[in-house]
Amino acid sequence: MNLNQVDELERAILARAERLASEYRERAARSRDSLLRESAERLRLRETREEASAKALGERAFRQRVQSTELKMQTHLDRLRWNLVLDVERRLTERMERFMADQEVYDAWLQALIVEAATAMESSEICIAANAHDQRRLFMNWDAVVAALPADTEATLAPAPDAIDTLGGVLVTSADGRIRVDQTFEGRLQRLRARIQQTILERLLPNGLDASTPFSG
């Protein structure tokens, strides 16, 4: 092999080496770009997951705060309604006491309560109980009470030791005790409590406030 051939071979080897080096550089560049894209995508996905997780945690924390605030508000409203009902009941008690002070009117009212209960019970024998004061009044007016009862109705007045604990009104029972009509102040108030609550909601707490049961707390 002469000198020229040696030079050509060297140039060929160098050219081949340069081509291979260029190919490797291009391949390395492509690999690097691919790795960078994959890393960027993984980073983006991780950031998206973290953002979604943070958003979910934030929304849950917000809902919890809202629920806590609503619960506190509902508790406050329940307490407000309860206090209003108690105030109404206290005023009703005071009014009842003033009504009872007019003995003549109150005696007529007691008689009307007894007649109403006897008519509703349709029992031939009834027993009437009241507090100690009202039992004495009923005893004094017993003839008028009996005369006002429905025909063929026999009535007895509970003895003094059996006086009931009530502000006013009467408790009427059948002779066998199976039927009873509670016409006491407390019994009638209990039956009217739902209407009292409704009145409070409609008149004292307007503007669409939550109308759930006032006695939940």
Can you give the CATH number for the domain in which 137 is found? 3.30.2320.30
Structural domain includes residue 140? yes
* Residue ranges with strand state E in the chain: 125-129, 154-157, 169-174, 180-184
Tokens of 23: 């190919």
pLDDT over 60 (residue 85): yes
Mean pLDDT of the region 6-12? 73
In a domain, 210, yes or no: no
pTM of the full predicted structure? 0.58
What's the number of domains the chain is made of?
Answer: 1
How large is the average pLDDT for residues 83-112?
90
Residue 19, pLDDT > 50, answer yes
The Cα 119–Cα 174 span in angstroms is 12
- Evaluate whether residue 110 is within a structural domain: yes
Where is average pLDDT lowest: 74-83, 149-158, 197-206?
A: 197-206
Identify the H or E element spanning 153.
none
Distance, CA of 92 to CA of 114 (rounded, Å): 21
Name the residue with higher pLDDT: 20 or 146. 146
Answer yes or no: is 180 within a domain. yes
Residue 136 domain boundaries? 102-199
Decide if 33 is inside a domain. no
- Report the percent of the chain where pLDDT is more than 90: 36
175, part of any domain: yes
Residue 144 lies in a domain: yes
- What whole-number distance in Å separates Cα of residue 167 and Cα of residue 139? 18
**For all residues of the chain together, what is the average pLDDT?**
84
> Binning pLDDT at 50, 70 and 90, where does residue 212 land?
very low
Using the predicted structure, report yes or no on whether residue 1 has a pLDDT greater than 60: no
Tokens of 18: 């340069």
Which pLDDT belongs to residue 2?
A: 60
- The verdict on residue 91 lying in a domain is no
In this predicted structure, the answer to whether residue 21 has a pLDDT above a threshold of 90 is no
What average pLDDT does this structure show over 27-35? Answer: 80
| % of the chain residues with pLDDT over 70 | 91
